[in-house]
């Protein structure tokens, strides 16, 4: 259903842009940006459950950073579309709970790694008009996440009792951001923003015939600093 929704969005956004945009003389309607994503996770996860699973086993995700890529389409003086993505970051999950499972260290150990493909589409309201070089904005939209390259580490396999396969369901949820654009000469600019998104996934850790489960809300927040070029 999520992929169908995204396909529909892919058709709807260009149509919306075409219906609302007009070419004001001398004002570019398109821009691209490259910069840095700084990502923090505020993880809330249910305790891992399943056969042969001690109580109180959870997980946390370490902060990370990656390359930011953005495309912007001006719809009018005050409205724009932002399509944002990043080079899929490698996130590392740490065990949260008892110091050890038997003789195997657990708490604070990196137990799994995964990459996120996480595009975001936003409608933004931009304050002031193009005569101002500094323009704050606020945006709202949707975020989609597909988790891939899901691997259990040596520490994760040891704690689980053997080689373990990690499954994470994809996520579709709301997103929002606030930020500021600063125009520079010759169509260049800089942008800084802070965003939040709802990212929820069902985790299954499969060790042989044993299936363990957790419901995970990642609650990512991101800071972006980027250089833009309008055309």
What pLDDT shows up at residue 26?
76
Class at the top of the CATH hierarchy for domain 2-21+28-230: mainly beta
Calculate the alpha carbon distances from 28 to 85, 111, 170, 205 in Å: 22, 48, 36, 49
d(CA 15, CA 171): 25
What pLDDT shows up at residue 19?
46
What pLDDT shows up at residue 23?
47
Instruction: Return all residues near 203 (Cβ < 8 A) that are at least 6 apart.
Output: 45, 166, 167, 168, 213, 214, 215, 216
Residue holding tokens 């398109």? 30
Q: Enter the pTM of the model.
A: 0.86
What is the residue-level pLDDT of the chain in tens, covering all 231 positions? 555 545 555 555 555 555 444 445 679 999 999 999 999 999 999 999 999 999 999 999 999 999 999 999 999 999 999 999 999 999 999 999 999 999 999 999 999 999 999 999 999 999 999 999 999 999 999 999 999 999 999 999 999 999 999 999 999 999 999 999 999 999 999 999 999 999 999 999 999 999 999 999 999 999 999 999 999
Going through 42-183 in order, the beta strands assigned E by DSSP cover: 44-45, 58-61, 64-74, 79-86, 90-96, 100-101, 104-105, 110-117, 120-126, 134-152, 165-168, 171-183
Domain residue spans of the chain: 2-21+28-230
What pLDDT shows up at residue 49?
97
């Amino acid at each position: 259903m999520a992929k169908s929704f995204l396909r529909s969005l892919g058709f709807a956004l260009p149509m919306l842009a075409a219906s609302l945009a007009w070419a004001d003389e001398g004002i570019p309607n398109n821009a691209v940006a490259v910069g840095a994503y700084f990502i923090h996770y505020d993880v809330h996860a249910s305790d891992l459950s399943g056969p042969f699973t001690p109580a109180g086993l959870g997980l946390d995700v370490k902060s990370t950073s990656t390359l930011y890529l953005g495309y912007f389409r001006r719809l009018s003086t005050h409205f724009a579309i932002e399509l944002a993505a990043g080079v899929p970051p490698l996130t590392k999950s740490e065990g949260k709970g008892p110091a050890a499972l038997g003789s195997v260290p657990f708490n604070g150990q990196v137990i799994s790694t995964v990459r996120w493909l996480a595009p975001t589409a936003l409608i933004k309201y931009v304050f002031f008009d193009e005569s101002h070089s500094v323009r704050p904005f606020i945006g709202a939209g949707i975020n989609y996440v597909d988790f891939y390259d899901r691997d259990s580490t040596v520490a994760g396999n040891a704690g689980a009792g053997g080689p373990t396969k990690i499954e994470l369901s994809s996520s579709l949820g709301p997103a929002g951001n606030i930020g500021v654009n600063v125009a520079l000469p010759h169509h260049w600019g800089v942008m800084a923003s802070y965003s939040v998104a709802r990212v929820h996934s069902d985790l299954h850790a499969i060790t042989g015939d044993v299936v363990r489960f957790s419901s995970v809300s990642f609650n990512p927040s991101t800071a972006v600093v980027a250089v833009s070029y309008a055309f």
